[in-house]
A and B are shown apart, each in its own frame.
Chain A
Amino acid sequence: MVAILGTLGFRANSLLPTLESTSGVDRVVVFSNDHPRALEALTEVQKVCSIMGIRLDRVVMPDAFDLLQAAKAMRAQIRQLKMEGHDIAVFNIAGGTKMMSAAALLVCAMEGLNSVYVHDETYREIPLPLLKVDYSQLLTTSQKEILTYLWMNRVKPMTQVEIAQGMGKHKATINHHIRILEGKNILHLVEDPHDRRKKVVRVDDALELMLEMD
Chain B
Amino acid sequence: MRGRRDLLISTFGEEVSEIVAGLRSLPHDHLVLVTDSVLEENAAILSFLRRMGIRHEVLRVEPADITGSAMLIERKVLEHIENGWMARVDITGGSKLLSDAAMLAALSTGAEVCCFEMGARRFPLLAAMGVREALPRDLAEVLASQIWPMSLDEVRKKDRDHPLPPMLMRMKRMDLVRLDDLGMPMLCLTKRGKACLDWLIRTKELSGSSE
Q: Which A residues are within 8 Å of any B CB, using their own CB?
A: 63, 65-68, 90, 93, 97-99, 101-102, 105-106, 109, 112, 114, 116-117, 119-121, 125-133, 135, 138-139, 184-186, 204-207, 209-210
Chain B residues in 8 Å Cβ range of A128:
66-67, 104, 195
Q: Do B124 and A206 have beta carbons less than 8 Å apart? A: yes
Q: Please, how many angstroms separate the alpha-carbon atoms of A63 and B117 in the complex?
A: 11
Say if the beta carbon of B168 comes within 8 Å of chain A: no
A90-B191, A128-B104, A129-B131 known; A66 vs B118 contact (CB < 8 Å): yes
Q: Do B126 and A135 have beta carbons less than 8 Å apart? A: yes
A106-B103, A186-B126 known; A206 vs B121 contact (CB < 8 Å): yes
Chain A residues in 8 Å Cβ range of B103:
102, 105-106
Looking at the complex, which one of A67, A116, A129 makes contact with B121 (CB distance below 8 Å)?
A67
Provide a sorted-by-A list of 22 A–B residue pairs whose CB atoms are within 8 angstroms.
A68-B121, A98-B91, A98-B96, A109-B129, A114-B191, A116-B191, A120-B97, A127-B192, A127-B195, A128-B195, A129-B67, A129-B199, A132-B134, A133-B127, A133-B129, A138-B127, A139-B126, A185-B88, A185-B124, A206-B122, A207-B124, A210-B124
Nearest Cβ in chain B — how far from A126, in angstroms?
6
Chain B residues in 8 Å Cβ range of A125:
191
A102-B100, A135-B126 known; A129 vs B198 contact (CB < 8 Å): yes
Looking at the complex, which one of B67, B120, B174 makes contact with A131 (CB distance below 8 Å)?
B174
Say if the beta carbon of B123 comes within 8 Å of chain A: yes
Q: Residues 179-211 of chain B: 1 if any A CB is under 8 Å from the residue's CB, otherwise 0?
A: 000000000001110111011000000000000
Q: Residues 105-133 of chain B: 1 if any A CB is under 8 Å from the residue's CB, otherwise 0?
A: 00100001101011011111111111100
Nearest Cβ in chain A — how far from B36, in angstroms?
12
User: Nearest CB to that of A211 among chain B residues?
Assistant: B126
